[in-house]
Amino acid sequence: MFDFKTSLKFRLAYFISSFLPSYIFIMIITYIQYIESSKRIVPSLVITSKKIVFIVLILLTLIAFYSLRIILRKIKEEYDTFRTNRANQRGKLEKEYNSGIRDFLLSVLLPLITTIFIDEKPISGLVSILLIQFTLMYFYFRSTDILPNIPLLFTGYYIVKGKVGEKGMLFFVPRKILLNVLGKEVYFAYLGGSDSNTVIVKDKE
């Protein structure tokens, strides 16, 4: 997805934040399973494997939120710099966006199937989910497919494929200008590092 000129910090933040929905969904399911089995809303102080898993899920959720913040902060920094010091780089967007729904199903919904086993084997269930996500992350580190980032979409940014010359690029496009720039040439600034394939778009004024 991202080339190796894109900073490792940016790539990791993107992938970890993309798993945020799965952590939240699994945390909700785990809590519901606890209520069903214990008939209690407020957990007791007794340490169990389910509670350990729940605590780990909370930590993973916080890490994913922090990763999303890293992405948004980087976008804001480059976008503000772009507004005051217009870059002269230009690229052309494709007309398709929101691609990779099947990948989203694999990365977010498939792990939820594993939560069926969390009630009986919570630790092994969580480990299997993390292994699936690690495998997906490894795959996307070494492929040109796009892993949808639903939290980023909710915060107002879409990823659209495009080109700068003959080089394939990933354009982070604000929602408010998306429909106006699809299939057109746009100005951009680098996001993931100089000469990477990851850029932020601003419509020509």
Question: Does residue 158 have a pLDDT over 80?
Answer: yes
**Alpha carbon distance 203, 205 (integer Å):** 6
- The residue-averaged pLDDT of 64-71 equals 94
**Alpha carbon distance 167, 159 (integer Å):** 16
pLDDT in the model for residue 202: 66
pLDDT in the model for residue 136: 79
**Residue 171 three-state SS:** strand
Instruction: Answer positive or negative: Cα dihedral of 66, 3, 182, 86.
Output: positive
Question: Does residue 177 have a pLDDT over 80?
Answer: yes
Task: Phi first, then psi: give them for residue 35, nearest 5 degrees.
Answer: -60, -40
Question: Does residue 115 have a pLDDT over 60?
Answer: no
Closest CA to 199 of 175, 165, 164: 164
Q: pTM for the whole thing?
A: 0.80
User: Which parts of 47-200 fold into alpha helices (H)?
Assistant: 49-84, 101-104, 110-114, 122-141, 150-154, 178-181
**Alpha carbon distance 115, 176 (integer Å):** 37
- The residue-averaged pLDDT of 143-162 equals 83
Place of tokens 């490894």: 138
Question: Does residue 99 have a pLDDT over 90?
Answer: no
**Residue 120 three-state SS:** coil
- Contact (CB, 8 A) for 162 and 94: yes
